Amino acid sequence: MKIEIGKELPQYFKPLYPEEFELFSHFETTAGIPTVLFAITTWKENGQPNVCFHAWSCFHGDKTAFFAVMGNLYQHTHTYANILREQCFCINFLPIPYYGRMVETIQNNGYETDEFQVGDFTPTAAKTIHAPMIQEAFMNMECTLKSAEDLSGAGITAMVTGQVQHVWVDKEYARGYEKRYGKDGFMMLVPAPQDLATGEPSQSAIATVDIEMLD
């Protein structure tokens, strides 16, 4: 037997915090699909560096191009405005020990704020775009803006697609599986899975990738 959940928010679903279902679709907590966490870095219009802790994305392409497809980017944010203005952004992958520093950039992200300083990150110049990179990241992707689309048409979030122009990988992470996966590798967001029988909420989890087999 399967539990069915429709487009309308089930009345028995309890939010983890008051605005949860104002910010996110109830399908997010219904499905609880993990995605990789990373930092989007851009320049604010006043020249201050901006950091955005983000997930809800995928990475793919073909032999002609490779793309970063970032869903659920809020249109009211500095990051969204910066990407539209500069037509580029950088994606930075950091391991779990940097989680707390990333959260600091969420809690202190004013227009006049140097968010690299808030997170104690070292800025470094990108090669092909006008965006700062986080030196501490084990992998950086320089992206130009390909498209920005309001999928729901509600003016709340956008799906931003960037075309990857250049990639930097730390030498320690450049060979095989050992460093990129596990505690030193990609940081994953597991959205809080709702108890679909009772509607009780749960907390989101931060995870790593555990290699089970080779294909």
Report pLDDT for 126: 98
> Does residue 200 lie in a domain region?
yes
Rounded to the nearest 5°, which phi and psi values hold at 157? -125, 170
Report pLDDT for 60: 98
Segments in the chain below pLDDT 70: none
> Does residue 212 lie in a domain region?
no
Q: pLDDT, tens digit, for every residue of 11-24?
A: 999 999 999 999 99
> Does residue 12 lie in a domain region?
no
* Domain carrying residue 69: 34-207
Report pLDDT for 51: 98
> Does residue 166 lie in a domain region?
yes
> Does residue 14 lie in a domain region?
no
Question: How far does CA 183 lie from the centroid of its chain?
Answer: 18
> Does residue 214 lie in a domain region?
no
> Does residue 21 lie in a domain region?
no
Burial zone of 71 (CB within 10 Å; 0-12 exposed, 13-18 middle, 19+ buried):
middle
Written as six digits, the tokens of 119 are 């997170």
Task: Give the whole-angstrom CA distance, residue 85 versus residue 69.
Answer: 18
Helical spans, DSSP H, in 41-198: 78-86, 99-107, 115-118
DSSP readout, 85-124? Answer: HHSEEEEEE--GGGHHHHHHHHHS--TT--HHHHTTPPEE
Report pLDDT for 159: 98
List the CATH number of the domain containing 130: 2.30.110.10
Report pLDDT for 153: 96
Report pLDDT for 214: 94
Q: pLDDT, tens digit, for every residue of 11-57?
A: 999 999 999 999 999 999 999 999 999 999 999 999 999 999 999 99
Report pLDDT for 178: 87
The number of distinct structural domains making up the chain is 1
Written as six digits, the tokens of 109 are 């992200």
> Does residue 4 lie in a domain region?
no
